Amino acid sequence: MLSFIIKRIGLAAVITALAVTALFLIIHMIPGDPVSTMLGPRATPEMRTALEERMGLDRPLIVQIALFFGNMLRGDLGMDVFSNRPVTQIVLGQVPYTLGLILVSISWAAVLGVALGCYSAVNRNSLGDRLTGVLSVSVIAVPAFVVALYSLLVFAVKLQWFPAIGAGEAGNLGDQLHHLVLPSLAIGLSWVGYIARLVRASMLEVLGEGHIRTARAFGLPEGRVVFGYALRLAILPTVTVIGVGMGFLLSAAVFTEIVFSRPGLGKLVIDSITTRNYPVVMGSVLFSTLIFVVSTTLADIINAILDPRIRAGK
Amino acid sequence: MNRPTIAWTRVGLPRRSFLKGATALGGLAATGLMLPRAAHAAGGTLKTRTYADIRSMDPAFSQGVVDEEIQAAIYNKLIQYKPGREWGWELDAAAMVEQADDTHINFALRDDIGFTNGFGAMTAEDVKFSFERIIDDALESTNKPDWGPLDHVEVTGERTGTIVLKNAFQPLWSITLPYIAGNIVSKAAFESVGGKIDTQPVATSGPYLHAGWEPKQKTTLKRNPDWKGEAVAFDEIQIFHIDDEKAAEIAFEAGEIDFTRVSLDSVERLKSNPIQGATLDEYPSLYYVWVGMNLDNPKLANLKLRQAIQYAIDVPSIMAAAYFGAAEPSTGIIAPGLPGHRDASLTGVNADLEKAQALMAESGESGVSLAIDILNKSANVTAAQIIQANLAAIGITLEIRLHEGATFWELGSNEDLELVLNRFSMTPDPYYATSWFIAEQAGIWNWERFRNDEFDAIHLAAQSEADQAKRAEMYARAQDLMEESGAYKFLTHEATPVIYRNSVIPALRPDGLPLYRYFGAA
């Protein structure tokens, strides 16, 4: 198991390095001059030159990449040229908002999705199964931003049950959770349907396998058969999908953060790309990549724990 | 929050009367002081919205209204903009300010203003430090141009001094002293942190304290308990960062903010279906939007062709479709209410198709195909589509090229630029508008590469002209020259519709931007 984990972490490091290099090149190749954007219309040529030097933009791209990685390994992502604050501090200040949003969204979606999937599989072709199927497909088809807008209009404007903007008072967990309800509903809703369909399909496959029939033949309680044996295997594709789906969750978070005016990595990336604030863009991209790579690696490790065949490489 | 330790001392003020014909704005100040202000109720929280996050709380590096909205509440200036529908200013930290002659402005500070965090009373040394640091090349302040020909500030007493200019500079009264570059900071506080700050003020003096900043979320201001000036209305002001106007409108309707600018396309809806307990107000904006033509591009070298384009564009159609009837056509780059605003443009606002076609025939051009570059905003796209249809009527094919922000603002250096739909921000002095169109700016911010010696001479002379009527004439002539070049078709100054709860008495500049220190509670 340990060698499996070490291999996966090594692979994750390589993926991170490649992804960050590619994104660095893409960001620096798109047109737009960060110096003009940052200094505004009244900067003198001397100011422009000084800023270019300070940002390292006067150096060859390959040198800029090498410097970025060198500094990154020392935990230094540079300084935000606008506010003169460390990029690491800026990005780390936003990560908890995005991470919290994603985790809450996927958690409630997974709990509900798995429950609905199990119910549908156990009660195959029943009215409840059919209803669940229709609802699941319906919510899968609705984009997160549509859910966000309508939930705002209904629950924030009309009923005024939940707040429309922001992330809540710092240090007030209750207020922060209150502010998370609508955004996590927007992101998580389509995942409920997706997970429900996935779990149903997996469960039906597993429930038809020999070891389940054997368990039933031995007279084990149905609950233990379903949740103790069948679900343990049927959940594997769901864990993988959630891990890989972290990329989709991040992109959904971008829309949601903008619609709900929440702080977070998505909003930070959009703002910094618009202003060509390279250090902040790279810092945000690095952390987004890390979230993605860590979640897929974790999914692999969880799968390996649940299924010994995976860690044995079979 | 540390309480300020201030040595309160009184100073004898010069007995000379207030202002000796400084500017028209200066003249308004006297009446401004007489205007009644709404009674401020004590307490409560004002929740409002800003469209971007702050960049700097250092007046030397702030770049616009987002920072200044906060700075105007936490710092003091010698004079502040006066809320209302007409541009003017009123005294703030100054008990007296007067233009002694073209190049000398005397001031005396109030004796009851102190800095927080134990940095003592505000003195003339602080004023000297605040203004001179901005023109210090070593600091590399992007706001240096606001101080124009400032030579130095002479300290004549503990709270008295003289601003000494190299030459007369009228914008001093309209865009320097009452705006970003006019904020007075504590010399001792700034020196204690190495001479400049970023987003965290080290000491403030205004009626509100900077109580917190949550990046990408909100800034919180709190009542300054040691403020001795006119009492402010709110215990706390929360300024939420909401980029999108539609999101801000939803937040307002949800009862989460008390004041916000709204989008132009919402004005009609909010008028016909008003929100209970709220008021919608429309203010003119100072921004200016125009279609520019690159004079250095051979495809646009023909004056008659450019004039044909000027006459073919139907501005009212653009106002109706792109601005939903909530903005008025403009006559130039200087908005109504500012010296130099023209009552009418030379080419009119309605399309004159006959004249345009005649000019097209005179030009001898046929099968003309041009491109217009625009920023990817919906109003621009609609406006460009109307211009495309207008030009098709005189036989010109127009391609629309969309750009995102950072790419668009790089186009100025593109020599092949043809037409461009542009929009510049503006401060309340015509000097600021003309400064982008002088020959020196060609290829930088003068994207049309308009070069005119008379225009440049007017720009230089008008900034020093004390006679307001003459100054207005000069700027009107400058805009005539721009239009006569055929390189410009002026479209609009846009508008600033705002909505606020009836429990709030907003205090806004004439262009609709908030002055939070003056906001009241109904």
Does the structure show a pLDDT above 90 at A278? no
Measured distance CA(A303)–CA(A237) in Å, rounded: 9
Chain B: closest CA distance from residue A38 (Å): 9
- Flag the least confident range among B10-14, B68-72, B295-299: B10-14
Which helix (H) or strand (E) segment holds residue B76: the answer is strand B76-77
- Range with the poorest average pLDDT among A302-306, B120-124, B174-178: A302-306
pLDDT bin (cut points 50, 70, 90) of residue B17 is very low
Q: What mean pLDDT comes out for the span A172-199?
A: 93
Q: Does A57 touch chain B (CB under 8 A)?
A: no
Q: What is the pLDDT of residue B27?
A: 40
pLDDT, average across residues B320-346: 96
Please report the pLDDT score of residue B23 as a whole number: 41
Please judge whether A157 and B436 are an interchain contact, meaning their C-beta atoms are less than 8 angstroms apart: no
What backbone phi and psi angles, to 5 degrees, belong to A74? -90, 5
CA-nearest of A301, A242, A90, A113 to A189 is A113
Would you call A165 and B409 a contact, using CB atoms and an 8 Å cutoff? no
B-chain residues near A43 (CB < 8 A): 142
How far apart, in whole angstroms, are the C-alpha atoms of residue B441 and residue B438? 6
Q: What is the pLDDT of residue A2?
A: 77
Q: Which of B54, B240, B445 sits opposite A166 (nearest CB)?
A: B240
User: What does the pLDDT read at residue A289?
Assistant: 87
What's the whole-number mean pLDDT along residues B150-166?
A: 97
Q: Do A263 and B410 count as a contact with CB atoms less than 8 A apart?
A: no
pLDDT category of residue A74 using cuts at 50, 70 and 90: confident
Residues 121-150 (B) with a CB less than 8 A from some CB of A: 140, 142-145
Please check the confidence at residue B11 and state whether its pLDDT lies above 60: no
Q: How far apart are the first and last CA of chain A?
A: 14
A81-95, B212-226, B422-436: which range is least confident on average? A81-95
Give percent above pLDDT 70 in chain A: 97
- Which residues, 6+ apart, have CB-to-CB distance to B392 below 8 Å? B398
Instruction: Report which of residues B195 and A47 the model is more confident about.
Output: B195
What does the pLDDT read at residue A69? Answer: 87
Identify the pLDDT of residue A314: 57
Q: Identify the pLDDT of residue B6.
A: 38
Mean pLDDT in residue range A241-249 = 82
Q: What integer pLDDT is reported at residue A273 of this predicted model?
A: 83
Band of pLDDT at residue A20, cut at 50, 70 and 90: confident
Q: Where do the H-state alpha helices sit in chain A?
A: 2-29, 34-39, 45-55, 61-73, 87-122, 127-140, 144-151, 173-207, 210-217, 222-223, 231-234, 236-244, 246-259, 265-274, 278-306, 308-311
What lies within 8 Å, CB to CB, of B361 at 6+ separation is none
**For the packed helices A246-259 and A87-122, what is the interaxial angle rounded to 10 degrees?**
110
d(CA A188, CA A139): 10
- Cβ–Cβ gap A165/B215 under 8 Å: no
Q: Is B198 on the interface with A (CB under 8 A)?
A: yes
Residue B21 pLDDT > 50, yes or no?
no
Tell me: pLDDT of B40 over 70: no
First vs last C-alpha separation in chain B: 29
The reported pLDDT for the residue numbered B312 is 98
Q: What is the pLDDT of residue A72?
A: 85
**Interchain CB contact of A40 with B (< 8 Å):** yes
Query: Does residue A263 sit at the B interface (CB-CB below 8 Å)?
Result: yes
**To 10 degrees, what angle do helices A87-122 and A127-140 make?**
150
User: Which stretch of A219-228, B4-13, B46-55, B374-383 has the lowest confidence by average pLDDT?
Assistant: B4-13
Q: Return the half-sphere exposure (C-beta side, CA atoms, 13 A cut-off) of residue B387.
A: 31
| A249-263 pLDDT, tens digit each | 888 888 888 889 899
Give the pair of three-digit tokens for residue A59.
């150096």
Interface of B with A in 41-60 (CB under 8 A): 52-56
**DSSP secondary structure of B248-265:** HHHHHHTTS-SEEE--GG
Residues B54-63 as b or e (16 or more Cβ within 10 Å = b): bbbbbbbbbb
The pLDDT value given to residue B416: 95
CA distances from B289 to B345, B420, B425, B435, B462 (A): 14, 10, 9, 16, 23
Distance from CA of A268 to the nearest CA of B (A): 8
State the Rg of chain A over Cα: 24
Q: Do B240 and A82 touch (CB under 8 A)?
A: no
The residue among B180, B79, B93 whose CA lies nearest residue B134 is B180
Give the separation between CA B478 and CA B476, rounded to whole angstroms: 5
Q: What is the 3-state secondary structure (H, E, C) of B318-381?
A: HHHHHCCCCCCECCCCCCCCCCCCCCCCCCCCCCCHHHHHHHHHHHCCCCCEEEEEEECCHHHH
Q: Is this structure's pTM higher than 0.90?
A: no
User: What is the tens place of the pLDDT at every residue in B450-508?
Assistant: 999 999 999 999 999 999 999 999 999 999 999 999 999 999 999 999 999 999 999 99
CA distances from A292 to A35, A147, A265 (A): 31, 24, 13
Residue with tokens 């940052």: A38
Q: C-alpha angle B411/B413/B416, rounded to 5°?
A: 75
In chain A, positions 233-262, which contact chain B (CB-CB < 8 Å)? 258-262
Q: Is A172 within 8 Å of chain B by CB?
A: no
Q: Residue A41 has what pLDDT?
A: 67
Cα distance between residue B427 and residue B177, in whole Å:
12
Cα–Cα distance, A198 to B167 (Å, whole number): 77
Q: Which SS3 state, helix, strand or coil, does residue B106 take?
A: strand
B77 band by pLDDT with thresholds 50, 70 and 90: very high
CA neighbor of B442 nearest in space, from B485, B472, B491: B485
* pLDDT exceeds cutoff 70 at B148: yes
